[in-house]
Copies of this chain bind each other. A is one copy, B any other.
Amino acid sequence: MWILLVEDEKQLANSLKRGLEEEGYVVEVQHDGEEAELQGLVNDYDIVILDWRLPNRDGKEILEHWRKEDRNFPVLMLTALGDLDHKVSGLDAGADDYMSKPFSFDELLARIRALSRRSADISNTEIVKIGPIEVDARRHNVTVGGISLTLRQKEFVLLELLMTHLGTVFSKTQIAERVWGSAYYVSDNTIEATISTLRQKLNDTFEDIDTYKLGKNDQIIETIRGAGYRFNIDLFKDHKDS
């Protein structure tokens, strides 16, 4: 889950970012309204959290522009306490939900979950199931043929990314950005090592189940040399579960 957080109070923004990251979300923070507007036009976030009062440009303008350009990720707007006017105008402009400051972090989480459930986008299903592999984004849990396996944060987010974008090849650069949050400072090897342990955990679990057997050369996560990685949907093509 890729979230854009637009909030100019840096301290608040950072603590929210940290909290959300602990929950397994990948969070980009933008303090400046104008910049945020561009980012939203260009990136397909799963959710945007948008403060209504911003330097340079206000939340409403931004949101209207996005909606005019058919950017239809769910938007959760943040307003000052008691600011009912803004609430109404925001929902009119196309916001999907609102929250007034101050709010509890748990409430924020709950609303984010609700929004991602409601959203039409496939990538926001709470539970993704492909063949015997089941990813529960909410509980942060993966099972293969009913057996649960313990993945670490990065492994989990990486698997989730690949499984919610079937057919897409993600380059290392894109993976760095969407799993680690930034393309800089993440070495190739870090990603390779994570892929490696993730594959091992998946394979080990497949050995323990009876319902599906992997062939000798079957790779659940394919490597496309020079280009990136992709979830190998072909392995489960016939085997329609859901």
Contacts and interface: CB of A to CB of B under 8 A. Distances in A.
Contacts of A228: 22
Contact of A104 (B22, B39, B227): B39
Contacts of A107: 38-39, 42-43
A140 interface: yes
A15 B140 contact: no
Contact of A15 (B39, B173, B227): B173
A145 to B, nearest CB: 20
Interface string A147-191: 000001100000000000000010111101110000110000000
Interface string A93-133: 00000011010111100110000000000000000000000
B105 A35 contact: no
Q: Work out how many copies of this chain go into the complex.
A: 2
A60 B174 CA distance: 30
Interface in A1-41: 11-12, 15, 18-19, 21-24, 28, 32, 35, 38-39
Contacts of A111: 42
Contacts of A82: 32
Interface of A: 11-12, 15, 18-19, 21-24, 28, 32, 35, 38-39, 42-43, 81-82, 99-100, 102, 104-107, 110-111, 139-140, 152-153, 169, 171-174, 176-178, 183-184, 224, 226-228
Given A23-B227, A42-B106, A105-B176, 13 more contacts: A11-B184, A15-B184, A18-B172, A22-B173, A22-B226, A28-B104, A35-B81, A38-B99, A43-B107, A104-B183, A105-B177, A105-B183, A140-B169
